[in-house]
Structure 1
Amino acid sequence: MKILVTGIAGFIGFHLTKRLVREGHKVVGLDNINDYYSTDLKYDRLAELGILRESIVEENIVKSCTNKNLQFTKADLENKPLIDHLFDTEDFDVVINLAAQAGVRYSLKDPYRYIDSNIFGFLNLLEGARHHSIKHFIYASSSSVYGGNTNMPFSTKDNVDHPMSLYAASKKSNELMAHTYSNLFNIPTTGLRFFTVYGPWGRPDMALFLFAEAMLKGDPIKVFNYGKMERDFTYIDDIVEGITRLIPRPPSSNTDWSGNNPDPSTSFAPYHIFNIGNSNPVKLMDFIGEIEKQLGIEAKKNMLPMQPGDVPKTWAKVDDFFDYTDFKPEVGVEEGIEAFMSWYKSYYVESKQYNIALPS
């Protein structure tokens, strides 16, 4: 297939693209390489894909120097003329939208970025799909949409009308916009609610990265809600496996759907929402303990109250996803943290990007 992957320089987009080109798909990647976190890390991910920093020209197509099936363009999703041009010239079979302004807490600081990228940008992609007979439109939603919901585990059949941040609201908006286009234009759309994704090449604003960095530097880690948090940590390889299994399986109409008892996860239109999570929430203090064990360092802990926009617990109900794909995420935190630490030490410590010594 020929696949548009947005957010290719991001954590999930990078890993998914590696998998897709390895399987022989043709991929056109798009990313604006914004400065929400280290652009060096984003450029290094692209370099792993054969997209060299010095070859990138804004809004121009660049070919990978290591894989003939991969091309890249640096551009904003909200650049409608460029998005229209890509759809007009590239003849995509599938769109996978992983690009977004990420981060719950950052949405309190710069809300306009979320509207530009997550709403206007998403609309441009839907419009492209509308006019070019896309076989499957897959997009990243988030576990954040569950917001004030306390019914555990989180189910895609639950109501999600009480977001706790603008980031979450933008992701819920994406689901509503996708349904509208599925209904009006018969575009098969699948939304994926990711649960705390981690692993090698991960985001520097996420807990595992922040904890490892602080502990290796001898700095205290910030432990919110006084450690009374649980997260459904999901390893990156499980996320990629789930997405690749969904690509050839676009949704169809749910003939049992009823407006008298509407199922939010399916529709009379070709529309589906899935959770992708490990379905095994881990207590934050246990997560920190595993990092301490693998680093051989006891963390200095700064115990703090809950942050605005955050929730105390996430837990994904994934039965419908397992039934649909015959796959259930399976990598546990011990194995996942070990893989992350191996990459982290190689990339940041042994390469001398940080002037710190590894514990003996």
Structure 2
Amino acid sequence: MDTIEDKLKERIKELTCLYEITSIIVNCDYDHPEISLDAIVHCLKRAWLFEKDTRVVIRTKEYALGDLLEEEELVAIRSVIKVFNRDEGWIEVGYPASRYSVTDFLEEEHKLLENVGLEVGNLLERKRIRESELAIKRQMERADRLNIMGEITAGIAHELNTPLTNILGFAELLESRMTDHDEIDDLNKIKENAIFCREVVKKLMFFTCEVPQVRRNVLLKPVVENVLKLLKPTFQNRRLTPVVVFGGEDIAVKVDEIQMTQVLFNLIMNAVYYSPVNGEIIIRAGENRNNVVLEIGDGGKGIPGTVGDKVFEPFFTTKPTGEGTGLGLSVVHGIITGHGGQIRHRAGKGGGTVFEIKLPKKQ
């Protein structure tokens, strides 16, 4: 650039670029930030001295945009993208090496690229902050729903207990007086359904923490083995194989043994239900300095992303009507959180779903 006019034109291009990029970031759709990053690529191209030969690439841990398919050798300058002071990627601007050298980049272009790197880092920081805020909001909303549901279900459980006990008692009394087999079969159906309802009430009481806990140090492996013995016929009917992997025989945790048995029973039954015939159910346990970690994985189709946040909500189920109450996982969640632990689910490496439980060693 030989004249003052040429230099002025370049400064105007650079300032226009920075202004446009700032506008793009301000109006960014944080659900689709790649749209804004792509627009930044095009803005940068227009700001460089040799615009037609400019190649721009933006790479981060999540995104890769720009002239990615160009195979020619380039001379380039690069600016690091930092997100919360950690290197997360870079922006590179280059020219074909056959016609240009590093000296063809203007000093102002170096400064511009540094500024754009800072702006892109700020954009990704805002995106992460927004995602964290949304996650916290969802957790708070879910906690509120669970608290309200807890109050409602506690009342329902207490109200249902007495009439169900009466139904069972009078059905047994009538059965002792009857000789007609058809009538006795009908009474047995009444008893079976009343017992089923009573089990639902028990689950409601577990969910609302109405059942007192008796915590003691319990070896985890025998509890798992007892549950598997109870479910042995179910495994055989589905031709499923339980695979138990323990990091040690002495892994213990301070829990209510009955409630821990219910947790394992519900999770393993869920895994059985969703696993294909001839599949495996992996039960893995280990420990670190602070926690005992228990994982139960199935070989099913996995949990759809659209319902991933709902699986621990009471009365939510993906099973057909009549095959599930939607209380199993909410009971599990209530028991684990009541013990000061955490439960989450994730996709298994080979498909299916893995439920991971973390229980603190010190309680």
Structure 1 length as normaliser, TM-score?
0.21
Q: Which structure's relative contact order is higher, taking Cα pairs within 8 Å and 6+ residues apart?
A: 1
Q: Which has the higher helix share?
A: 2
| Larger Rg over CA atoms | 2
